[in-house]
Structure 1
Amino acid sequence: MKLIDLHCHILPGVDDGSKDMQMSLDLARAAVDQGITNSLVTPHHMDGEYTNHKQDVIRKTDEFQQALDKEGIPLTVFASQEVHLTGELMNAIAQNDVLFMDETNRYLLLELPHSGVPEYTADMIFDLTTRGITPVIAHPERNHGFQENPDKIYDFVRMGCLTQLTSSSYLGVFGKHVQELTENIIKANLGFVFSSDAHNFKGRRYLMKEAFEKLKKEEGVRKAELFNLNARSVINGEDVENVSFIKISSLSKKRKKFWLF
């Protein structure tokens, strides 16, 4: 299966991911070994620590692609950003300083603070969706607010969001609790794509192939194909396939009924 990675930090020297070009090239080789052919490079933007302006990311991505081509590494990279939820977001979009996940400016990789879900999140999502922008919430399974109340994910998907799950979360790299939440997000049809969120060769490494193998085994080939198709649809600015989804709390109720009877 040829894979598309919508979220990684392998652009050299821009954030807490790859530190230099050599590391980026090595990470790119690891991506190719996983079956990844196309990848968004998504440095942090406006998260309070890193600011990676649109034109800088485009320039550095072009330089990275030239280095990949020179080394004969068959990976095509596209400039994007992991955009932090901030009160300045709409202004940054208006000033054309935000990169989307596709050329039509439809899909936006949106990161919430790890500590929780700010009260203004729903208002911001409403503002984005009314402008024709679909927020793709990055790694909700690692957000403390969603961990405490997983049904908030349902609320945001119902508002028009998609979610991007981290492949390593599904495999237990961030602990059993995160793994179980990732599994439940998938079972509730609230997960849409896997991405690597690769930063390095240790904990934040490429595990896309392994995640898809697990997904095929536990949820079926069709689900794995759908996740991959959704990634292709996002990067092309196309519709993702409609699926019915439920609250995660409904999963536990179903399990209780099964054991009671």
Structure 2
Amino acid sequence: MIDIHSHILPGIDDGAKTMTDSLVMAQAAVKQGIHTIIATPHHQNGQYINEKQDIKLYVDQLNENLQEANIPLTVLVGQETRINGDMIEELQSGVIATLNNTKYVFVEFPSGEVPRYSEQMLFDIQVAGYTPIIVHPERNRQIAEHPSILFNFVQKGALTQVTAASLVGKFGKTIQKLSHQLVDHNLTHFIASDAHNTTTRGFVMQEAYQILKQEHGNSAFYMFMENAQLLIDGQYVHRNEPERIQKKKKIFGLF
């Protein structure tokens, strides 16, 4: 299994604090059946600045420690960048790390809103030769209230990634319901852990994939599995025609 979103690098954001923490997370990942993981530390989110060259050094150090500890996990370079007006410049100058040096790049929205310039920025990223992947859209309040926003982005070429814990229900029933709707309506293309630790924000990838198979069938299960591999190989991922989520309208205050 491949996990494309994690905060396993030590001491650089709100994920693992020490190398020991990173190794404990790595052991937990292996128990989940994960053999390859992309380290995606936060960048430009108002708290953390993690540039590509620094991330690569941390990834190399972690891989060395994993080998010494005989933990069968490979860590790849990535980054979780909060959407901002300098993204194109930072992509072109090598500040922003794509996922495993492919054309795929993570884009994070603030939790409460989708900035007004997002559509233009997602378009500009594609014009520059990259494919934006919107991370955990199911946890964005504005998208939850207006899922047509996400439909518009996906229809225009963006991809999305839901969190394993969201699909399982660890963020509550509302977020869980929306996560499954995104799968049903072809509005998401990847499942990843977004793991920060082994206690409150663990991997739960195995459980998420089991639920995916039970709720959405074998074809969805294999598509999401394959998409993670296609991503790290820099290949085109599977995507089906997106559909709008029809929200129930209130009639006289009732549903």
Instruction: Classify the TM-score, shorter chain.
Output: over 0.9
Which secondary structure does the structure 1 equivalent of 2:225 belong to? helix
Match of 2:168 in 1: 171
Indicate conservation of the 8 Å contact 2:105/2:132, yes or no: yes
The code of the aligned residue for 2:86 comes to E
RMSD across aligned C-alpha pairs, in angstroms? Answer: 1.2
Match of 1:219 in 2: 216
Aligned-residue identity in percent? 40
Which secondary structure does the structure 2 equivalent of 1:47 belong to? coil
List, as ranges, runs of 4+ consecutive aligned residues in structure 1 with deviation greater than 6 Å. none
Which secondary structure does the structure 2 equivalent of 1:198 belong to? coil
Match of 2:23 in 1: 25
Q: TM-score, normalised by structure 2?
A: 0.95
Indicate conservation of the 8 Å contact 1:173/1:203, yes or no: no
Unaligned runs of at least 5 residues, structure 1: 254-261
Match of 1:258 in 2: none
Match of 1:189 in 2: 186
Unaligned runs of at least 5 residues, structure 2: 250-255
Please identify, of 234-243 and 32-41, the stretch whose mean Cα deviation from structure 2 is larger. 234-243
Match of 1:15 in 2: 13
Report the Cα distance in structure 2 between the residues aligned to 1:151 and 1:136, rounded to whole angstroms. 17
Deviations, residues 212-256 of structure 1 (Å, cap 9, x unaligned): 000111111111110010111111110012312201117x69xxx
Match of 1:102 in 2: 100
Indicate conservation of the 8 Å contact 2:82/2:107, yes or no: yes
Report the Cα distance in structure 2 between the residues aligned to 1:91 and 1:245, rounded to whole angstroms. 30
Indicate conservation of the 8 Å contact 1:192/1:227, yes or no: yes
Is 1:39 aligned to residue 32 of structure 2? no
Indicate conservation of the 8 Å contact 1:230/1:241, yes or no: yes
Which secondary structure does the structure 2 equivalent of 1:224 belong to? helix
Q: Where do residues 38-187 of structure 1 align in structure 2 (5 Å cutoff)? A: 38-104=36-102, 106-187=103-184
Which secondary structure does the structure 2 equivalent of 1:215 belong to? helix
Deviations, residues 140-179 of structure 1 (Å, cap 9, x unaligned): 0001111110111110001111100000001111111100
Indicate conservation of the 8 Å contact 1:154/1:246, yes or no: yes
The code of the aligned residue for 2:22 comes to S
Indicate conservation of the 8 Å contact 1:103/1:236, yes or no: no
Match of 2:244 in 1: 247
Match of 1:233 in 2: 230
